[in-house]
Structure 1
Amino acid sequence: MHRQPWQARALLIAAGLSELAVVAASSATPVSGPGQGSGPVARVLGLTVPPAGKVGYPPIDIPKPVADDVFIVDSLLPGPMGTALPVRMTVIRLGNGDLLLHSPTQFSDALKTELEKIGRIRHLMAPNVAHWTFLEAWQRACPDVTTWSAPGLRERSQVKKSGVRLDHDLSSFPPTAWIGITLVEVVGGLGFSEIALFHQASRTLVLTDLVLNLEASKLPAPIRPLARLFGVTAPDGMPPPYLRAAIKRDRASATKAASRLLELKPERVIFAHGLWFERDATNALRRSLRWLLG
């Protein structure tokens, strides 16, 4: 950003600090279902979440197959100023029929029932330090699950206060039961850590926040210029500037991990927010990682 005018730098810094402040002030317990806009916080702030089709990827909160033994569940989260943010869970059916829920979204009995038609819910995965807030509801509804988390997540103050159960920390070595799964740990500075998951049989790479690829047409008009300035819009979306800066604090390690992701040559890349890469995925991923790889 050293070639940008001071106004642009100030705007980016302010936006990053604002988002960090929101995260710090957020409750560890979700108070409203995704896209409902009817929880206590939404009522107090007067938020109205737009229809799912305008911001998200319907059908909402329904498992959708994308490859053999790979499913996605698109959902919505209330965002700032009455907006909504698309969020996505990826579901992997392991060789023994058990389900792995990667970055679980809002729990509902209806969603649980639909997932149980696919397999037994046995594993929950919190893949980075931000995507964990819905774990507890799934744990209560599925008492036999094992919860796996990104390194460092259990040390965060909000996680400790929440009382959520984290059974095991993940690393680059997958659990024994996860046959056919490759894990890649992406580590940055300021405590950032994300575990990428590669489903070998379908050549599907599952990320979380390492790619943000929001469609401008699904954003409110006043926010679109800022989103483009941040570089988070499709087709070549990147993480927001503050996250890129945090990851670059350990650039050598993060670059090595990013190169490893490209070496996997995924046929599709799924991530938590925005339009995922359904085709030409390796090239699309390379473009989205240009801020790290050059």
Structure 2
Amino acid sequence: MAGFDYPTRMVVIRLSDGALFIWSPTALSHDLRSAVDLLGPVRHIVAPNTLHHKFVGDWQRAYPKAQTHAVPPLRKKRRDLTWGSDLEDTPPAAWSQDIDQVVVRGNGITTEVVFFHRLSGTTIFTDLIQHFDAGWFKGWRAVVARLDLLAEPEPTVPRKFRLAFYDRRSARAALRRIMAWPTKAVLAAHSEPVRRGGRAAINHAFGWLLR
């Protein structure tokens, strides 16, 4: 992305009915598809914000019986794709027993849905929390990463996303709902997993907004 080596992650959740929930799908290689197919039938493909959609079409073609879910603004951005239900603040019946969700609105860069997997106590962010090791980026990119808070000691909200919040009241209300979840762990697309102290990690990342 813009010359940056910017790895990402997807999440696969097996729902209580055995169906698979594919969050932020990555490139669909033969090996990845084989591994996923061993876990169960893919029934839900989820684009969690307006930035993570590049490989959705490949997954739709591979799993035509799956439903695709996205935040409403993505419909206009990717008119070439067929979209199913919109992601809102209330989880659909298909996964409401397993996963809760909150839409974080009021950001000029993206609208993002944050998910909470009840059984594991894991909260899942896409781009609103990020973290890279201090030595990951080199040269001028390291300077940019440092200014953007990407290489902070702990995962946090990048500076560009902080500045892009034009409706902080709405975002703050969403974060308060997220903070009410009994979070143990945190996963994000561009950060190493936080395996313990998840609620404290979210509070640290968004302390500037929650104050």
What TM-score results when the alignment is normalised by the length of structure 1? 0.68
Is it true that 1:124 corresponds to 2:42 in the alignment? no
Specify the SS of the correspondent of 1:216: coil
Specify the SS of the correspondent of 1:124: strand
Other-structure match for 1:205 = 123
Q: How many residues align?
A: 210
2:115 and 2:152 mapped to 1: Cα distance?
22
2:152 and 2:132 mapped to 1: Cα distance?
5
Structure ranking higher in helix proportion: 1
Map 1:102-181 onto structure 2 (within 5 A).
102-156=23-77, 159-160=78-79, 163-178=80-95, 179-181=97-99
Other-structure match for 1:267 = 184
Other-structure match for 1:240 = 158
Point out where structure 2 has 5 or more consecutive residues left out of the alignment: none
1:147 and 1:108 mapped to 2: Cα distance?
19
Q: Mean Cα displacement is larger for which, 233-242 or 261-270? A: 233-242
Q: Find the structure with the greater CA-based Rg.
A: 1
1:206 and 1:240 mapped to 2: Cα distance?
16
Other-structure match for 1:101 = 22
Other-structure match for 2:135 = 217
Specify the SS of the correspondent of 2:178: helix
Q: Deviations over 1:195-227 (max 9, x none)?
A: 111011111111101101111122224422321
Letter in 2 for 1:224: A
1:191 Cα deviation (Å)? 6.9
Specify the SS of the correspondent of 2:22: strand
* Contact 1:147 1:168 (C-alpha < 8 Å) held by counterparts: yes
1:126 and 1:231 mapped to 2: Cα distance?
25
Is it true that 1:231 corresponds to 2:170 in the alignment? no
1:167 and 1:181 mapped to 2: Cα distance?
18
Tell me the C-alpha RMSD between the 2 structures.
Answer: 1.6
1:235 and 1:285 mapped to 2: Cα distance?
14
Point out where structure 1 has 5 or more consecutive residues left out of the alignment: 1-78
Is it true that 1:284 corresponds to 2:205 in the alignment? no
Specify the SS of the correspondent of 1:95: coil
Map 1:39-118 onto structure 2 (within 5 A).
79-81=1-3, 83-118=4-39
1:205 and 1:112 mapped to 2: Cα distance?
25
* Contact 1:213 1:232 (C-alpha < 8 Å) held by counterparts: yes
Q: 1:175 to 1:122 in 2, by over 3 A?
A: same
Q: Mean Cα displacement is larger for which, 171-180 or 121-130? A: 171-180
What TM-score results when the alignment is normalised by the length of structure 2? 0.93
